[in-house]
Amino acid sequence: MRRFAAMLVVLGIAFPVDAAPPPRVELAFAIMMGGTRIGEGRDVLEHDGRRYRIVSESSPRGIATLFINEVRRESRGIISDNGLRPDHFEETGRRGGTRTAAFNWASGELALINGNNARTVALPRGTLDQASLAYTFSFRPVSGEGFKVHVTDGRGVRHYRYREVGPETLVTPLGEIRTRHFEKVRGPGDKRGFEFWLAPDRHLLPVKLRYVEKNGDAFDSIITEIRFQ
């Protein structure tokens, strides 16, 4: 496992860059809509210092099963000096069918399959997928000024800019956790939002995620358990 000894300064506060996570990490989340718990989430990160695999699963419960499907995402690839570099991404559970993305870094091509539709597009350098985005910072430092990144969901590739909102202390079922809060910068007409909170004391793992849909509905995944192996 690589270790980062550098110090990052975020809004005038020094945050040490934690060591890379242990070889296996399991995270459990409560999925909330407003003040109502509507589901459960479970992420598993496995790596050997060279390759990684992330499996992210979300399951609705109660009345939410009427309008939300179980969704499973998997990302696997290598760990580079710049963080995670996916080779393959797959998402199942949505009504449109399975989505996959095959990364060919040598040719600079990304093969996408969305249900019955298949196409190949250009693969920008540093592209991540929806499963690996929030975990890449456990393997690389990130400055307090935010970052730009290309992300694929199996349908296409989009370029996003994220800004660091600042340090925040979250109150969670695990107690108070200090975090670094990042959010997607939305341009005109972009109604979808994504935010994540990384915990410096826990290998910069995500301990809260927020998804905002086109209609304005917001879903929060809040950490309830972390297991290291």
Task: Please give the model's pTM, rounded to 2 decimal places.
Answer: 0.88
**Distance from C-alpha of 96 to C-alpha of 102, rounded to nearest angstrom:** 19
pLDDT of the residue at 18:
53
In tens, the pLDDT along 7-58 reads 232 222 233 445 789 999 999 999 999 899 999 999 999 999 999 999 999 9
Predicted confidence band of residue 139 (pLDDT cuts 50, 70, 90): very high
Structural domains present in the chain: 7-228 (2.50.20)
Q: Which residues pair with 221 in a beta bridge?
A: 31, 209
Alpha carbons 78 and 105: distance in angstroms, whole number: 12
Q: Is the dihedral of CA 110, 114, 116, 117 positive or negative?
A: negative
pLDDT bracket for residue 6 (50, 70, 90)? very low
Q: Is the pLDDT of residue 5 over 60?
A: no
